[in-house]
Amino acid sequence: MIIHLAIKSLLNRKLTIALTIISLMLSISLFLSIDTLRLGAKKSFFGNVKSGDLILGSRSGEIQLLLYSLFQIGSPTNNISWESYKDFAEHSEVSWTIPISLGDSHKQFRVLGTNNQYFRYFNYRNKKQLEFENGEKLNDMFDVVIGSDVAKTLNYRLNDSIVIAHGISSQSLHDEFPFKVKGILKKTGTSTDRLVIVSLEALEIIHKDWKTGSRIPSVKKTNIELEKEDLKPKEITAAIIKIKSPIKIFKIQREINDYEKESLQAVIPGIALSKLWEIVSITENIMLSITTMVIVSSLIGLIAILYSTLSNRRKEMALLRIVGASPKNIFSLLLMEALIISICSIVASILLTQLLSIIVFPILDQKFGIYLEYKFISIKDFYFLMVVLFTSVVVSIFPALQAYKNSINDGI
Amino acid sequence: MSITNNILEVNNLLFKWRKTNNFKLKINKLAIKKKKRVILLGASGSGKSTLLNLISGILEPNKGIIKINDTCITALSSKQKDLFRTENLGVIFQQFNIIEYLSPITNILLPCYFSLFKNKKISFYRERAADLGKKLGIEKDVLFQKKAKNLSVGQQQRIAIIRALINFPKIILADEPTSALDYKNKEKFLNLLFDMCEQENISIFMVSHDNLITKYFDDVLLLEKINEAS
Ligand SMILES: Nc1ncnc2c1ncn2[C@@H]1O[C@H](COP(=O)(O)OP(=O)(O)O)[C@@H](O)[C@H]1O
Ligand SMILES: [Mg+2]
């Protein structure tokens, strides 16, 4: 009976109640979305670093090396010599390495020089391997493998021809050396999607006629005989190193940091990223506290609605009292109304966030490279929703108590 | 328990509002015999509604005994009082007799919900409501329409009568039910109410400041006289 009364009374105040529900729904959805976004960003961030144990590079800031070599964000780092790389690549404790050479670009995308180790060992998120949507790995000198975003944005298909630009500004092109699209990777949700991958050797060749940024006019493609040239790369940007036994990671790191022939450094990606994330998480916490305040204000709105109707409904409550309702019944009626409002808001916000995730996730992915895996509410979200429900009922105790007090003396 | 002929008995009643308020109600003796129609006249603010609230068990007197149908309600717990009220009293107000967002039939059945239908089926009470409606000239489709919002004042008042009667009360308490009506409608309303109460052997205790209607009653009391504190 109390439920019936509560529902009918809420329906009678459709507009105000609907507005209250919308306000609560929006604030809950805001919290849920920001949380999903935060976790998604964290995941796509940390997702890239699952491959190796160490990042080998020149001595620069840890975070700079990490961001540049793994995410192609930030300023370039110095290169390291091929010999130094070889020293560690052939180290007895090292299981495998992926060399990385950066610097060139194609349209808005970065060119990554590496070898086929990359396709074999690079993995992301939960040990997922790179897979080919079309084609296969690098075979010939001028083969190129492109990430799925590159393919989608530039509308490339297999065997399309690609010209690489020198440096990040695409003014000067390596147009004597057209590459051919050999493979297109499946979507990973990591920065790999935005890479144009070529072999280290190819990078070496196309830079033969270049000396630190300017073209030497005399050296033309025709002057180079591919077979004869020494195709061994001279420098790379960084390398991902996998150590055979995890307990040796720190030992190898020390060895690299103490390397005498060249000043090198080894970064443990997980640790460096966590440091970085600590900085990021300040903003994250600010965002979360703002959304929490938004929720609090909606809850205050809820109590305000309940309070404001109390005086209007005094006669109604008195009538209920006369026909037999106890003050306790009146109390539970108001609590029930609050409960129904918050349950409606929660259900609505679940629906809204689900709808948003279907609509917005692909857009986020395309526009910002934030890849969010679709999920129904997580356990954490569920706890959060329960807390909202609980809080809304707890705060509604105040107006309900007021109604209780009023109804003790209110009758005819 | 001694069986008396009284449906309502008030003895040595004293009531004061807890807040700083000079109003006092002190009634030595007030008794209403079974099946009688009694009207209590009093100016507005003289404490008529307060007295009805005391009788219905909403308010607690500072002193004294109130007996309804030989049950001493001042000795009941507040929970028992709430139940006693639904089972034994019918109440009609001057205004606000219905909750607009509920259907007329739900309005009528409200006392039954709170007395848990006294082990009878809901259909029994629905039939009774329809039956009473027929006697009072309320069509079934009016009774079972979705919301009571659209009812006319006359219909609302008849719905209030049906609600007051639905749970087979022993006595009906009415707080100035006629003061919003013109003379013709007053008469019509009182006739309907008295007819129904006569058929069901129910006593009536009405309070009002309207001395034009006293001729319809068996007994006329003046609050100024019986309230010794005034
Ligand atoms: N809830 C209340 N709290 C305090 N005083 C009240 C309350 N209701 C009524 N009173 C006071 O009790 C007195 C009697 O009021 P009431 O019983 O409503 O008179 P009547 O029904 O005869 O017009 C008035 O002086 C009024 O101010
Ligand atoms: Mg009054």
Pick from A49-63, A164-178, A229-243: least confident: A164-178
B149 has pLDDT over 90: no
**Which of B79, B95, B114 is facing A323, going by the closest CB pair?**
B114
pLDDT of residue A212: 47
Task: Quickly state the pLDDT bin for A227 (edges 50, 70, 90).
Answer: low
Q: Which residue has the higher pLDDT, A63 or A339?
A: A339
Mean of pLDDT values over A203-209: 78
Task: Quickly state the pLDDT bin for A95 (edges 50, 70, 90).
Answer: very high
Query: Which residues in chain B have Cβ-Cβ distances shorter than 8 Å to A9?
Result: 101
pTM of the shown model: 0.78
pLDDT of residue A228: 54
User: Which chain B residue's Cα is nearest to A319?
Assistant: B97
Tallying the residues shown for chain B, one arrives at 230
For chain B, the average pLDDT equals 91
Beta bridge partners of residue B89, listed in sequence order: B171
pLDDT digits (tens, 9 = 90+) for B98-120: 999 999 999 999 999 998 887 78
pLDDT of residue A57: 92
Residue nearest atom 14 in ligand 1 by C-alpha distance: B47
Q: Half-sphere exposure of A99 toward its Cβ, with a 13 Å CA cutoff?
A: 27
Q: What are the domain boundaries of chain B?
A: 6-226
Pick from A70-79, A165-174, B68-77, B145-154: least confident: A165-174
- Measured from the Cβ of residue A136, the count of other Cβ atoms closer than 10 Å reads 14
pLDDT of residue A175: 75
**Ligand with smallest separation from the Cα of A409:** 1
ipTM of this complex > 0.90?
yes
End-to-end CA distance of chain B: 33
- Measured from the Cβ of residue A55, the count of other Cβ atoms closer than 10 Å reads 26
Round to whole Å and give the CA distance between B174 and A184: 86
Cα of B77 vs centre of ligand 1, distance in Å, is 24
pLDDT digits (tens, 9 = 90+) for A135-145: 888 888 889 99
Residue nearest atom 9 in ligand 1 by C-alpha distance: B50
Q: Determine, for residues B175 and A412 on separate chains, whether the beta-carbon distance falls below 8 Å.
A: yes
A333 has pLDDT over 60: yes
DSSP letters of chain B?
----SEEEEEEEEEEE-SSS---EEEEEEEEEETT-EEEEE--TTSSHHHHHHHHTTSS--SEEEEEETTEEGGGS-HHHHHHHHHHHEEEE-SS--S-TTS-HHHHHHHHHHHTGGGGS-HHHHHHHHHHHHHHHT--HHHHTSS-GGG--HHHHHHHHHHHHHHT--SEEEEESTTTTS-HHHHHHHHHHHHHHHHHHT-EEEEEES-GGGGGG-SEEEEHHHHBTT-
Residue B79 beta carbon below 6 angstroms from any ligand 1 atom: no
**What is the assigned CATH class of domain B6-226?**
alpha beta
Cα of A58 vs centre of ligand 1, distance in Å, is 89
pLDDT digits (tens, 9 = 90+) for A97-133: 999 999 888 888 889 999 888 888 887 776 778 889 8
Query: Which residues in chain A have Cβ-Cβ distances shorter than 8 Å to B83?
Result: 324
A269 has pLDDT over 90: no
User: Which chain A residue's Cα is nearest to B86?
Assistant: A324
Q: Determine, for residues B85 and A324 on separate chains, whether the beta-carbon distance falls below 8 Å.
A: yes
pLDDT digits (tens, 9 = 90+) for A183-198: 999 988 778 888 999 9
Query: Which residues in chain A have Cβ-Cβ distances shorter than 8 Å to B176?
Result: none
pLDDT of residue A217: 53
Cα of B107 vs centre of ligand 2, distance in Å, is 22
Q: Determine, for residues A322 and B91 on separate chains, whether the beta-carbon distance falls below 8 Å.
A: yes
Q: Determine, for residues B111 and A321 on separate chains, whether the beta-carbon distance falls below 8 Å.
A: no
**Which of B82, B96, B106 is facing A326, going by the closest CB pair?**
B82
Residue B93 beta carbon below 6 angstroms from any ligand 1 atom: no
Q: Which residue has the higher pLDDT, A284 or B32?
A: B32
Beta bridge partners of residue B29, listed in sequence order: B11
B1 has pLDDT over 70: no
pLDDT of residue A172: 73
Residue B88 beta carbon below 6 angstroms from any ligand 1 atom: no
Task: Quickly state the pLDDT bin for A372 (edges 50, 70, 90).
Answer: confident
pLDDT of residue A41: 76
Minimal CA separation from A19 to chain B, in Å? 19
> Dihedral (C-alpha) A234, A237, A240, A243: value to the nearest 10 degrees?
60
A360 has pLDDT over 90: no
Mean of pLDDT values over B35-48: 93
**Ligand with smallest separation from the Cα of B19:** 1
B95 has pLDDT over 90: no
| Contacts with A177 (C-beta within 8 Å, 6 or more apart), sequence order | A142, A163, A164, A202, A205, A206, A221
